[in-house]
Amino acid sequence: MFSRAIVIVLDSVGIGELPDAALYEDQGSNTLGNIAAAVPLSIPTLAAMGLSRLVDLKTPPVALPTAAYGRMAERSKGKDSVTGHWELMGIVLDRAFPTFPSGFPAGVIAEFEKRIGRKSIGNVVASGTAIIDDLGPQHMETGSPIVYTSADSVFQIAAHEGIVPVPQLYAWCEVAYELTVKGMGLGRVIARPFIGLPGSFQRTSNRHDYAMPPIAETLLDRLVAAGHQVTSVGKVADLFAGRGISASNPTKSDADGIDRITALMASQDRGVIFANLVDFDAVYGHRNDATGYAANLERFDARLANLLPRLQHDDVLIITADHGNDPTTPSTDHSREHVPVLLAGARVNAGVDIGTRSTFADLGQTLAENFGVGPLANGTSFLRAIVRAQEIMTGA
């Protein structure tokens, strides 16, 4: 039904707690709803597509949505980006990746230090910006990398680009990957380079994620095997360890990501464009910056209004998310939330409510049916529900 799918993941834009949120200490989390309650928010394009029917944006819900809309619940255990993206593409995890709320075992840190030839500092659960502010001066004096983790399954290494060259930081991350991802089943290692002086440190766009390869076949694997083009934008390729990706486009910011999506829409007329816009999470969610988060939503909404007229007749544009990260709560970590799914295009049955899906994998199954590479192991397709009846009847 659709020759091209453009999937845009708004990293962390959740729309309300899941039934099991209490198990993750995320009661009351509602990233988008709580932002709208705390900060004046104007996102008319997303609201018109049906988002205003899914979450209270403090404006009246639209009467006639311009897109099909619904929400999805995460069935996997966990609430990190790897888990969320994998489930969107068909993998449901029956147990979460391991986390280390007290820091990594002393033996792991000792071996890491032995292999990189210098001591590290940190090894605590921390906000990335806060720990750089706290330990950045010591790091600059000693050259010791800053190691930290979070509520997610992640080993993060921060280093100043003027003290540790980025290639060296990446090499240290590869050491950590061998020890923790391959050795302990951790979800990923992240390089967190930064610049600046004490009191004004800033993280740079040279971040790099080293994720565990998917543990099972994904929609992306099926698409590439069948000869379809799968082009990633942002950190998507990292989250799948490059598997099932025909071409990758790293980005410096969400604005850069949308520029790349726009360019790809002009040059790639078939297959899948799969993008992640990470600033919602990395720049605003983890810093509890509700005002900045709202402003980024408004910037995206304005750019989305310009993307929609660029759709071809047989395109489907899909807006969704991978988890929550409510900046209005005391926590700076991800939150266990429903995510929206908005689907637009000339062949889409605008105004259809696809309800609450029991797994993110329903999206992957829908695309698998569309491209003729299904069925996947998980998920239920909603393709027939979103396609206009006359399109089905004509087989267009």
Query: What is the reported pLDDT for 127?
Result: 86
Is the pLDDT at 389 greater than 80, yes or no? Answer: no
Query: What is the reported pLDDT for 151?
Result: 83
Query: What is the reported pLDDT for 395?
Result: 53
Which pLDDT band, with edges at 50, 70 and 90, does 34 fall under? very high
Q: What is the CATH number of domain 106-211?
A: 3.30.70.1250
Q: Is the peptide bond before 340 cis (omega within 30 degrees of 0)?
A: no
Is the pLDDT at 396 greater than 70, yes or no? Answer: no
Q: What is the pTM of this model?
A: 0.93
Query: What is the reported pLDDT for 128?
Result: 86
d(CA 115, CA 343): 48
Give me the residue spans of the domains in the chain.
4-94+213-394, 106-211
Classified by CATH at the fold level, domain 4-94+213-394 comes out as: Alkaline Phosphatase, subunit A (3.40.720)
d(CA 250, CA 235): 6
Positive or negative torsion for Cα 192, 195, 196, 198: positive
pLDDT in tens, 182-213: 999 999 999 999 999 999 999 998 999 999 99
Which pLDDT band, with edges at 50, 70 and 90, does 82 fall under? very high
What residues contact residue 345 under an 8 Å CB cut-off, 6+ apart?
2, 311, 314, 315, 316, 317
pLDDT in tens, 310-328: 999 999 999 999 999 999 9
Is the pLDDT at 331 greater than 60, yes or no? Answer: yes
Phi, psi of 230 (to 5 degrees): -120, 110
Q: What phi-psi label fits residue 16: left (phi over 0), alpha (psi between -120 and 50 degrees) or beta? A: left
Q: Comparing C-alpha atoms, which of 301, 302, 357, 297 is closest to residue 327?
A: 297
DSSP letter at 180?
I
d(CA 106, CA 179): 13
Among 96-100, 141-145, 224-228, which stretch is predicted with the lowest mean pLDDT? 96-100
Q: Vertex 235, ends 73 and 19: CA angle to 5°?
A: 15
Is the pLDDT at 21 greater than 70, yes or no? Answer: yes
CATH topology match: 4-94+213-394 vs 106-211 = no
Is the pLDDT at 42 greater than 90, yes or no? Answer: yes
Report the pLDDT averaged over residues 273-284: 96
d(CA 394, CA 213): 41
Is the pLDDT at 257 greater than 70, yes or no? Answer: yes
How many other C-beta atoms can be found within 10 angstroms of the C-beta atom of residue 284?
22
Asked if 297 and 340 count as a contact pair (C-beta separation under 8 A), the reply is no
Query: What is the reported pLDDT for 394?
Result: 56
d(CA 153, CA 148): 11
User: Considering just the CA atoms, what is the radius of gyration of the chain in Å?
Assistant: 21
Mean of the per-residue pLDDT values for the chain?
96
Asked if 188 and 209 count as a contact pair (C-beta separation under 8 A), the reply is yes
Angle between the N-to-C axes of helices 81-88 and 361-371, in degrees from 0 to 180, rounded to the nearest 10: 40
Q: Comparing C-alpha atoms, which of 38, 5, 32, 3 is closest to residue 17?
A: 32
Distance, C-alpha 26 to centroid of its chain: 18
DSSP letter at 321?
-
